[in-house]
Structure formats: structure tokens, C-alpha cells
Structure 1
Amino acid sequence: MTKLIAIDDGHGSETPGKRSDVIPELGRQVKENEFNKEFAKYLEIELKRCGFRTIQLAPTDYDTPLRARTDLANRAKADLLINGHFNAITGKFATSKAEGFSAHVHSKTGQAAKFANIALKNLSGGTPQKNRGLVQQNLHMTRESHMPAVLFEFGFMDNLREARLMLNVAFQKECAQEVAKAVCEYYGVSYVPESKPVAKYAPKPVHSAAAPKREESVQILTGGLNADSVKIIAEFFIAKKWWGQLQFEAPGNPRMLSGGLDPKMKTEYEAWLNERN
């Protein structure tokens, strides 16, 4: 049976304290959930394209209790749990020197650690960041899950350079792609890249038999004409439903370039022009 991957997007949108310092060019803080939920969304797209089944453990912006998340993953009998986060130390750009990504597991031995190390290798090939490596930590999400579970920290919210990445769609997709590639490698499945969009065929417009083709229409070179005269010529073309292109040349009388006009149209235009003169 196709493997089921549980995806958890970390904290809710209103979880206290889970946000960056104020980013100068934005004039506001960025909530951790603004990155987490996009990562979770793109990871699901990546995994489904590669043939995996997925389940989102916290699909809304509500701060779903941790117990509810792990209970759902356990009931669904997920094969692997992936948790996406952004880290912080002091919460202030001025006082924090931390940087980089890390993978957090309950034990440094076992399948969770094996998958985490594959993911760290893939993450190292993306946006230049410090690889903080594998971290053994007593966390609810990795401790209470009945399947291999890894919590990823993709950067630090109190590092200005990395905080700026949180709303960067290319970075969000990159993290999702690198973790998806790790899932594929872990299970021995070929990664399926996103296909490039195929340009849709657009048929050429069919001209009505009653209307002249553009290349068969008259072209006028005008010289020494005032605006009223040009307007009169334009109105003549509109009345005849002819295509017309007005260009301006050195002073002189307006003249016609036949441009493939049929004799009847050419005669009619010349007669009208002579009447005007």
C-alpha cells in the first residue's frame, strides 16, 4: 500500500510569541505560521505528485493542541510524520546570533534519525544556510507519535536574513521540495519533478469573408494634412469597414499604397480622394 505521510504545520496563527522581530521593509512581524502553513501546503503537493498519500494534522490557522495532532496521526496509522517550524532564541534581531536549519528527533538512532539525516543532506543543497545537524530533543510531536517523526526548523525568526525568507515563496517551495526528495529517497521511490507548463495551442482568428484581410487593406501616408482631414479619412475607412493605417510623411498630398487591394476598393478610394481634393 502507498505510504501515508502525516504533515504538521507547527503553530497556529495566533500562538503567543511565535513570530519574528519587526522586519524593517515590511514594518511588521511575520508569524511563524505564515511560513509553516505554506511549507505544509507545498510539501503535500510535492508528495502527492510522487505518489504518496498525505494527511494534514492541523489544516486550519487554529492552534490545534499537540495531543490532537499526534492522536490523529496515530489513528490514521501514518508511516512518517513531518513537522515544519521556524526557530527563535531571543526573539530580537539585535541580540540573536543564531542561524541555520536543523532536524529534531526523539532518538538519534532508529528510522526517524535515518530519514532526518537524508533530509539534512538535501536541505544543505538549497539556499545557503548553516546546517545545525541532527538534534535529540524531548518533544511531544516526536515522542508521542507511533511512527518515525521529525521536526524541522528551517531557520531563525530572530535572524533578519532568515526571517526575510519566511514569506519568500521560492524558499517555501524549496524547503518542501528538499524534504519531499528525502521522503522519496528514504522509501526508495523516484522523485517526480514538477512538469513545466505546456503552451496551449491558440488557433489563428478566422476572418469573415466580407471583411478584407489586414494585408489587403489600404495604407495611407499623410503629409500636410491637418487633424480634421486625418479624421475624415479615418471615418471613411470605418464606414467602409476597411483596415487603415495612417503614417506621416514629408509635406505633400495624401497618397494610397495599394497593398494588394482589389481593383474595386482601389477605384472607390481614389474616386473619393479626388472628390475631396
Structure 2
Amino acid sequence: MVKIFIDPGHGGSDPGAVGNGLQEKDLTLQIAIRIRDILGSEYENVELNMSRTGDTALSLSSRTNAANAWGADFLLSIHINAGGGTGYEDFIYPNVGAPTATYQNIIHEEVIKAVDFADRGKKQANFHMLRESAMPALLTENGFIDHANDAAKLAQPAFIEGIARGHVNGLARAFGLKKKQINLFRVQIGAFRDKGNADSLAAQARSAGFDSFVLAENGLYKVQAGAFSDRKNAEQLVQHLTAAGFEAIIL
């Protein structure tokens, strides 16, 4: 069992960096909660804890004390940058070496792959969250709130999801986490031997407002419009697709 402690920076009376109509404390909490929820729902043998789950002001000492007392295997502190730059960077304590540096390399790589941010590099700093933690720790700075382009991305829920997914992908690689076996009900609207026909149908479905993509499987190009762990959700989508003129089945 891997114990991961997630720290959303700032909170409560401490908004952190502010710019372009955004507050750091809100963004860090959004990212941290998604990281927790994705890891908890999709991966095995991981235990999760957070320094805060609401808009609460906490001292730096209370955050590291909580992680230390819980016996975390890893501490991840989430932040948003400011000061005139742009892009993503992360920090570990100076000269700490492996395994912390290895974790940083992996998580950094996965976040950069997942989001459209300039890569500001892997860095070291004497930050409290890194210095006072009794376990390997990483502090990530996810874009600049005072940079118009970065802020525009951070204002999009899909981009926040991408940041969270990047962190999760890195944590999963770093700690060898295995995905849970989840039975999914897939909604399919066509299957073709000709990829062009599949692409055409997928485009038609997207233009009608349905998320769809082409999946190559067993010698066929299958057009999938959704996948759900709950069959009722799949059945609802089939009804909507049928009403729009598509032939949909649940696999």
C-alpha cells in the first residue's frame, strides 16, 4: 500500500497568487481533489490523504506535521506560480538524491506530456514543504496566474483535468501503481473494415454533439460514443443517439 499525501497550497484567508480573475487557493484545491479522486477510483493499493479539502487556512508546519504523523510515503504539494513567467516547473529539496529525484523526473515528464505548458525545468529549493517532510516530497508550480495565456488555460476545467491526469500518470509510474479492473459498458454506433467509413461516422456523431472516436479492434474500426461503469448511463446515451438517428448498441 502506497500512502500519498496531497497538499493544495494556500487556502482560507491566504489566497496565494492572484491574477486574471483567478486565485491560487481555488486552483490548487481543484487540481488536488481531482488527483485524489482519479487515484482512488482507478488505481489499486494506494491510500490518500489531503492537508485540506475545503477553503481552509493552514500553516506550513501543520501541513508537514500532518503528513509526517500519517506516515506518508510521498508528499505532493500543488501550487500556481506568479511573477511574470510562464509554464510549468517543479521542485525537490537540494541535493536530496534518489528516490526523490527519480520521482521528480518521472512526474515532471508526465505533466509536461499531459498539458500545453512551457517546460521551465526540474529545480531544487529550500521550501518548508520539502525541508520539513519526513518522506520524499515534490512541489509543483502549474503555470503563472499573472500570465494571460497561462491563466486562460487554468480557467478551463478540461485543462485542470489534464494537469491532474499528468500528476496521476507520474505517480502511477513512479510507484508502480496498477489500474483497477473496471467493467465498462461501451456504446458503439458502427463497425467497419474501412477506416474512412469509421472516421466519417465519428465525425458525423461529433457534429451532432456526441463525443466519439474510432477504436481499432479485432480487424475492425469501431466507432465508440461512450463508456460507462453504470449500465443505466450507457442506456441513456443509446436513447439519445437513437433519437438523433444513430444505430447504437451496448457492448
Same fold (TM over 0.5): yes
Is 1:50 aligned to 2:43, yes or no? Answer: yes
Question: 1:50 is matched by which residue type in structure 2?
Answer: Y
Aligned ranges 1:13-162 → 2 under 5 Å: 13-15=12-14, 18-20=17-19, 23=20, 29-48=21-40, 49-51=42-44, 52-89=46-83, 96=84, 98-108=85-95, 109-162=97-150
Question: 1:62 is matched by which residue type in structure 2?
Answer: T
Which whole-Å deviations, capped at 9, do the CAs of 1:166-218 have from their partners, x for residues lacking one? 2311111111111111111111223459963255247xxxxxxxxxxxxxxxx
Q: CA RMSD in A?
A: 1.9
Structure 1: tracts of 5 or more residues without a match: 24-28, 90-95, 203-277
Partner of 1:242: none
1:60, distance to aligned residue in structure 2 (A): 2.5
Partner of 1:10: 9
Counterpart secondary structure, 1:186: helix
Q: 1:84 to 1:131 in 2, by over 3 A?
A: same
Question: 1:67 is matched by which residue type in structure 2?
Answer: S
Q: 1:191 to 1:117 in 2, by over 3 A?
A: farther
Counterpart secondary structure, 1:150: strand
Aligned ranges 1:172-211 → 2 under 5 Å: 172-191=160-179, 196-197=227-228, 198-200=230-232, 201=235
Question: 1:60 is matched by which residue type in structure 2?
Answer: G
Q: 1:81 to 1:188 in 2, by over 3 A?
A: same
Paired with 2:18 and 2:154, the residues of 1 have a C-alpha distance of 10
Sequence identity (%): 27
Counterpart secondary structure, 1:124: helix
Counterpart secondary structure, 2:53: coil
Conserved? CA contact 1:120–1:131, under 8 Å: no
Paired with 2:137 and 2:13, the residues of 1 have a C-alpha distance of 25
| Runs of 4+ deviating beyond 6 Å | none
1:37, distance to aligned residue in structure 2 (A): 0.5
Counterpart secondary structure, 1:125: helix
Question: 1:104 is matched by which residue type in structure 2?
Answer: F
Paired with 2:127 and 2:81, the residues of 1 have a C-alpha distance of 14
Bigger radius of gyration among the two: 1
Which whole-Å deviations, capped at 9, do the CAs of 1:39-74 have from their partners, x for residues lacking one? 011000111121211001122212210100000000
Paired with 1:130 and 1:106, the residues of 2 have a C-alpha distance of 22
1:158, distance to aligned residue in structure 2 (A): 1.2
Conserved? CA contact 2:77–2:140, under 8 Å: yes
Counterpart secondary structure, 2:152: helix
Structure 2: tracts of 5 or more residues without a match: 185-226, 237-251
Q: How many residues align?
A: 187
